[in-house]
Chain A
Amino acid sequence: MSATAPAMPRKLTRKEQRAVDNKTKLTSPTASVIAIIIAIVWTTPTAGLLITSFRPASEIRTTGWWTVFSNPDFTTENYSDALGTSGLGQSFINSIVITIPAVIIPILLALLAAYAFAWIPFKGRDILFTAVFALQVVPIQVTLIPLLTQYVNVGLDGTLWVLWLSHSMFALPLAIFLLHNFMKEIPASLIEAARVDGAGHVRIFFTVLLPLLVPAIASFGIFQFLWVWNDLLVAMVFASNDYAPVTRKIAEMVGSFGSAWHLLAAGAFISMLVPVIVFLALQRYFVRGMLAGGVKG
C-alpha cells in the first residue's frame, strides 16, 4: 500500500469518524441493553451496601435498603461504632503500617536485582532469571507452614517484621520480572554512552535508569499496595491479633456476628476506602502494569 497515492482519501474529521464507527459497531439495541444490564448488576450490590452503611441498625435488620428512596433515614453511627467499639480503627492503622514497608522494601531489593539481570552479563544469568520468573506463580500456600515454623524458631512469629518480610519475599519474583522488562527496554546505547564517559554501575543506575523507571516503579507499587492492603491469607497466618489488618478484622466480624450488618457494611467500606482512592488516582499505572504481565496470586 502506498501512502502517497493521490486517490488516498483525506483524513476523516472526528465527527465523520464517529459516524463511521457508529455504523460499523455493535450498536444494536440488544447490545446496548446487555451492556447496561452488566453495568447495573456490577454496581447495584455495592451501592446497596453503601446505602446500608448509613442506615440505622434497627432499620437495616427489618427493611431492605431500597426503602430509603421512599423513607430516607441516615446516620453515621455505624462508622463510629465500627471504628471505635469494634476496634477497626486500630486495625486500619495496622493496615497502613503493614502495607507501606511491604511496598517499599521489595522495590528496593528488586531494583538492584533487576539491574544485574538486565545490564550485567554473567554466566548462569538466564537460568537464574528463568527460575525467578517461574517462582512468580508458585501458590504461597506451599510456603506458609514451614515459614511459620521458622518464624517461631527465631521468636519473631506474630510481629510486624515477619509480615513485612513475608510480603516482600512473595513479591520479589514479580517485582524483579516487571522491573527487568522495563529496564531492558531502555536503549543499550544510553548505557554504553554513560559507560564510555566512565560512569560506574551506581552512576548509571541513578542518573540514566532511575528517572526512566519511575512509571514502572509506580505500576508495581500500586499492584503491591493493593495486594498487601487486600490480603487476607498472609495476615491470618502470620499476624498476631494485635497487628491484624482491616481485612482480617472484618472477616472475623463476619464469623462472630454474621448478621450485624450495620457494622459489617461500615467496616467493609472503611477497608475499601484507601484502595479505591489509590486505584482511581493511579489507574493509568495500574492498567499498564497489568498489561505488562503483572499478575500474581
Chain B
Amino acid sequence: MEWLLKPDGAGQEFLVMIIAIALFASVMALVLFLTDRPNMPRWVPIVGYLGPAVALIGFGLLFPALTTVVNSFQNRTKDAFVGLDNYAEIFTNPEFIRVLVNTALWMVLVPLVSTALGLVYAVLVDRIRMEKVAKTLIFLPMAISMVGASIIWKFVYEYKPPGVDQIGLLNQLLVTFGAEPQQFLLDPPGNTFALIFVMIWIQTGFAMTVLSAAIKAIPDDIVEAAQIDGVSGIKMFVYITMPSVRPAIIVVLTTIAMATLKAFDVVYTMTGGNFQTSVIANEFFTQSFVRQQPHIGAALAVLLFVIVSPIVIYNVRNMRISEGER
C-alpha cells in the first residue's frame, strides 16, 4: 500500500487522486443514506451534515490557531513560557521594526493606489465600445499566480551595468532618457516600492471589477436627474458616482488590505525578503521554516491575526445587520 501514500509517476498520482475524490464522495453518500430513513431523531441529519465540515474546520483551523497563540508565548523548544518576550523581540529588534514599517507601507499604499486606479479605470471604460476587452486586460493579473506576476516584473526591473545593452524595460527607459540604470530590487528603500507596485498591478483588476459593477448599479433616474440639472464630466464623478459607490469602495479597500497583509509570494519570489524588503507574512515563513525560530514565527502569525481581527469583527457585525434585514 506504499503507493497510496507515495505514488510514483503520473499514472499512480492520478489513480490516488481518483481514490481520494471517491473516498470523500462516499463519505457524503453514506451520510445522506444514513440520515434519510424515516423517523430519525431531528439531530441526526444536523450532526451528519455539519459534522464532517465542522470537524475539519476544528482540526485544521481552530485547534492549530490556538496552539500557535500558546506557542507565541513559549521559547524555541516549547518547554517554558517566556511571557511577551517573543513580541518584545519583534517590536525592539531594528530588523523586525523594518519589517513592521514595510508591512504598514504595503497595507496603506496597495489598497489606496489600486482602488484609486481601479475606480478611475472603471469610470473611464464604462460603456465604451471595447469595454469587455479593456477590463479583461486589467483583470488578467488576478488570474495568474503571484509567483508568475513576480517573474514578469522581475524581468522589467532587470539590471545590467551601464555601457551594456539593458534587457529590463525600466532600465532601458532610463538609459534612453540619459539616466543611469538602477538596481531596483537591491537598493532600499526604493526596492520596497518596486515590490509594492507589483501588488498594485495584481490588485487593481479586483478593485476595477467590483467598482465597475457598483457604478453600473447606480439607478438610471439619479443619473438622468443629474443630467437634466446640467451635471456632467468631473462633477458627475464627484457628486453622483463617488457617493453612490462609497460602500463598495470600503469593501474593496479592506479586502485588498487583507490580501496584501497575508501575501508573501511577491516578496519571497522577488527578493526573498533580503535588502530590507521583508514583510510580516514573508518574515513568518523565514523565521518558521528557514531560520528554525518557530517561536518568533508563531508571534508573527499571531500578529497577522491581530491586525485582521478588527476586520473580522466589522464583517461579523455587517453580516448580522444584513441577516436581520432579510
A interface residues with partner B (beta carbon < 8 Å) = 1, 20-21, 23-26, 28, 31-32, 34-35, 38-39, 41-46, 48-49, 52, 60-66, 90, 93-94, 97, 100-101, 104-105, 108-113, 115-117, 120, 122, 126, 128, 130, 132-147, 150, 156, 159-161, 164-166, 168-170, 172-173, 176, 184, 200-202, 205, 226, 229-233, 236-237, 242-243, 247, 250-251, 254-255, 261, 264-265, 267-269, 271-272, 275-276, 278-280, 283, 287, 290-291, 295, 297
Closest 8 CB pairs of A and B: A169-B60, A230-B145, A279-B143, A146-B64, A113-B53, A143-B64, A116-B49, A146-B67
Find B259's partner among A113, A236, A295 (CB 8 Å cutoff): A295
Q: How far is the CA of A142 from the CA of B61 in the complex (A)?
A: 8
A interface majority secondary structure? helix
Minimum CB–CB distance from A183 to chain B (whole Å) comes to 12
B21 touches A104 (CB 8 A): yes
Report whether A137 and B144 are in contact in the complex, using a CB–CB cutoff of 8 Å.
no
How many pairs of A and B residues are in contact by the CB < 8 Å rule? 338
CB neighbors of A among B8-36 (8 A): 10, 13-14, 16-17, 20-21, 24-25, 28, 31-32, 35-36
Q: List A contacts of B326 (CB < 8 A).
A: 184
Indicate which residue in A128, A137, A140, A150 contacts B312 across the interface (CB closer than 8 Å).
Answer: A137
Stretch touching chain A among B82-90, B91-99, B283-291: B283-291
Q: B153, A23: Cβ atoms under 8 Å?
A: no
B319→A130 contact, CB < 8 A: yes
Chain B residues with Cβ below 8 Å from A100 are: 17, 21
CB within 8 A of A112: which of B50, B61, B125?
B50
- Pairwise interchain contact A39-B59, C-beta atoms closer than 8 A: no
Is B57 interfacial (CB-CB < 8 Å)? yes
CB distance from A16 to the nearest CB of B (A): 13
The answer on a CB contact under 8 Å between B304 and A142 is yes
The answer to whether A35 and B121 touch across the interface, beta carbons within 8 angstroms, is yes
Name B178-216 residues within 8 Å CB distance of A: 201, 204, 206, 209-210, 213
Shortest B51–chain A CB gap in Å is 9
16 A-B interface contacts by CB (under 8 A): A26-B236, A90-B10, A109-B52, A132-B57, A134-B316, A141-B285, A142-B64, A143-B64, A147-B60, A160-B20, A184-B326, A205-B32, A232-B265, A250-B148, A254-B151, A290-B209
- Does B134 reach chain A (CB closer than 8 Å)? yes
Residue pair B134, A39 in contact (C-beta under 8 Å): yes
A21:B140 contact, CB within 8 angstroms: no
Task: Give Cα distance in the complex from A133 to B24, angstroms.
Answer: 23
User: Do residues B315 and A133 form an inter-chain contact, with CB atoms below 8 A?
Assistant: yes
Interface string of B31-63 (1 = CB under 8 A from A): 110011010001101101110111011011111
* B212: nearest chain-A partner, CB-CB: A287
* Cross-chain contact A128 with B124 (CB below 8 angstroms): no
Residues of A within 8 A of B158 (CB): 261
Distance between Cα atoms of A66 and B155 in the complex (Å) = 13
| B148 interface neighbour in A64, A144, A272, Cβ under 8 Å | A272
CA gap between A42 and B52 in the complex, in Å: 43
A21-B127, A141-B281, A291-B210 known; A251 vs B259 contact (CB < 8 Å): no
Contacts of B213 in A (CB 8 A): 287, 291
Chain B: minimal CB distance from A65 (Å): 7
| Residues of A with C-beta under 8 A to B323 | 126
Given contacts A25-B126, A112-B31, A145-B297, contact A275 B145 (CB under 8 A): yes
- Taken together as a complex, chains A and B put the C-alpha atoms of A164 and B143 apart, in Å, by 21
Query: Is the beta-carbon distance between A226 and B143 smaller than 8 angstroms?
Result: yes
Q: Per-residue CB proximity of B227-265 to A under 8 Å, as 1/0? A: 100001110110000000000000000010011011111
Nearest CB in chain B to that of A60: its residue: B167
